[in-house]
């Protein structure tokens, strides 16, 4: 039973469940910062799913780029908005422990999963057999997909320009 | 060959995509709409990685990288537009934007 509980499949289902619950809390949330933190939990759970599916490179990118860069961008934007217009301004303050307990449970489940994965030598071996190496991804990326990489670089450049243009502070009274 | 069946990966992906889609359609706060868009892009990434690991091809991870790039650019432009909207209307309600002209 214990071996069954710590198999790759059951860990995948647990991480998927965490991802779904955290995403539901994001969509139904009222506090922007709480929703952002739930989004981080959801992305980390999906990263564990990637790792269990044999894509450690994608899992690392998910943590570094999604949870590390894009979510920090969100947090910066929320800081610039100010929370004065948030939906929670007129709601009664809820400061009891039950508010934090759900998020802590979700994050703790992910931590337990990581510890179980690291400690289990058999699982490491079976995961290692199904890995698609980052070398194969790199060869694919700069071989058949070279044009797509170039177009992605154009996309990033245009995103940079558009972000700079729209967030410029000096326009007064112009169109949106 | 991974031990996780492709069908279950696709179920997870569909669930996440449906949650994100409901968020995009139902919410009025534009910030939450952007977050739901992130969930939807993430769900598509799950489907790509799962298919790539079932067939042992690197194409799935390449597609995930491109989705990652798209998400980064989309969030940069979207948040810059939100900052502009917050300055102009003092609100993030998306229904205010139906009064745009031109």
pLDDT in tens, A110-158: 999 999 888 888 888 888 888 888 898 899 999 899 999 999 999 999 9
* Count of domains observed in chain B: 1
Does residue B16 belong to any structural domain of this protein? Answer: yes
CA of B97 to nearest chain A CA: how many angstroms apart? Answer: 10
DSSP state of B96: G
Predicted local confidence at residue B12, as pLDDT: 95
A60 Cβ under 8 Å from any chain B Cβ: no
B28's tokens: 């009025």
The strand pairing partners of B29, in sequence order, are: B93
B29 three-class SS: strand
Q: Examine the pLDDT at B10 and tell me if it is beyond 80.
A: yes
Domain that holds residue B69: 8-101
- Which residue of A62, A66, A132 is in closest CB contact with B52? A132
CA of A81 to nearest chain B CA: how many angstroms apart? Answer: 7
Query: What HEC string does A53-85 produce?
Result: CCCHHHHHHHHHHHHHHHHHHHHHHHHHHCHHH
Does residue B1 belong to any structural domain of this protein? Answer: no
Indicate yes or no: pTM above 0.95: no
Does residue B95 belong to any structural domain of this protein? Answer: yes
Mean pLDDT of chain B: 89
Q: Decide if B95 contacts B54 (C-beta within 8 A).
A: no
Predicted local confidence at residue A172, as pLDDT: 61
Picking from A80-89, A111-120, A156-165, which range would have the lowest pLDDT averaged per residue?
A: A80-89
Q: Decide if B67 contacts B47 (C-beta within 8 A).
A: no
DSSP state of A93: P
The rounded distance, in Å, linking the Cα atoms of B60 and B2 is 14
Angle (CA) A112 A63 B7, round 5°: 70
Does residue B91 belong to any structural domain of this protein? Answer: yes
Does residue B63 belong to any structural domain of this protein? Answer: yes
Does residue B2 belong to any structural domain of this protein? Answer: no
Predicted local confidence at residue A89, as pLDDT: 57
B93 three-class SS: strand
Mean pLDDT of chain A: 84
Enumerate residues 17 to 56 of chain B having a beta carbon within 8 A of any beta carbon in chain A: 19-20, 22-23, 26-27, 29, 31-32, 34-36, 38-39, 42, 45-46, 49-50, 52-53, 56
Predicted local confidence at residue A176, as pLDDT: 53
Does residue B80 belong to any structural domain of this protein? Answer: yes
Query: Quick check: B32 and A13 CB within 8 A?
Result: no
Enumerate residues 57 to 76 of chain B having a beta carbon within 8 A of any beta carbon in chain A: 57-62, 64-66, 68-76
Nearest CA in chain B to A131: B53
Confidence of residue A1 (pLDDT cuts 50, 70, 90): very low
CATH number for the domain including B15?
1.10.287.3510
Segment B64-68 long-range contacts (CB within 8 Å, at least 24 positions apart): B64/A55, B64/A58, B64/A61, B65/A58, B65/A61, B65/A137, B65/A141, B65/A152, B66/A148, B66/A152, B67/B41, B68/A61, B68/A62, B68/A65, B68/A66
ipTM associated with this complex:
0.91
Does residue B23 belong to any structural domain of this protein? Answer: yes
């Amino acid at each position: 039973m214990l071996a069954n509980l710590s198999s790759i499949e059951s860990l995948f289902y647990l991480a998927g469940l965490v991802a779904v619950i955290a995403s539901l809390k994001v969509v139904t949330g009222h506090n922007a910062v709480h929703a952002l933190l739930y989004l981080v939990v959801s992305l980390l759970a999906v990263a564990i799913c990637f790792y269990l599916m044999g894509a450690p490179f994608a899992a690392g990118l998910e943590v570094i780029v999604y949870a590390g860069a894009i979510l920090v961008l969100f947090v910066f934007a929320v800081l610039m908005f100010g929370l004065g217009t948030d939906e929670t301004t007129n709601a009664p303050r809820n400061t009891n422990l039950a508010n934090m307990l759900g998020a802590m449970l979700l994050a703790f489940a992910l931590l337990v999963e990581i510890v179980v994965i690291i400690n289990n030598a058999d699982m490491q071996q079976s995961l290692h057999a199904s890995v698609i190496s980052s070398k194969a991804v790199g060869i694919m990326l700069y071989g058949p997909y070279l044009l797509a990489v170039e177009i992605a670089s154009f996309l990033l450049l245009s995103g940079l320009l558009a972000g700079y243009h729209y967030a410029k502070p000096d326009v007064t009274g112009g169109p949106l | 060959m991974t031990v996780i069946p492709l069908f279950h990966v696709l179920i997870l992906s569909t669930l996440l995509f449906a949650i994100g889609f409901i968020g995009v359609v139902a919410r009025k706060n534009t910030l939450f709409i952007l977050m739901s868009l992130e969930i939807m892009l993430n769900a598509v990434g799950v489907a790509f990685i799962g298919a790539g690991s079932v067939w042992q091809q690197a194409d799935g991870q390449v597609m995930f990288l491109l989705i990652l790039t798209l998400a980064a650019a989309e969030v940069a432009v979207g948040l810059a537009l939100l900052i502009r909207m917050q300055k102009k209307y003092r609100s993030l309600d998306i229904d205010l934007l139906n009064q745009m002209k031109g």
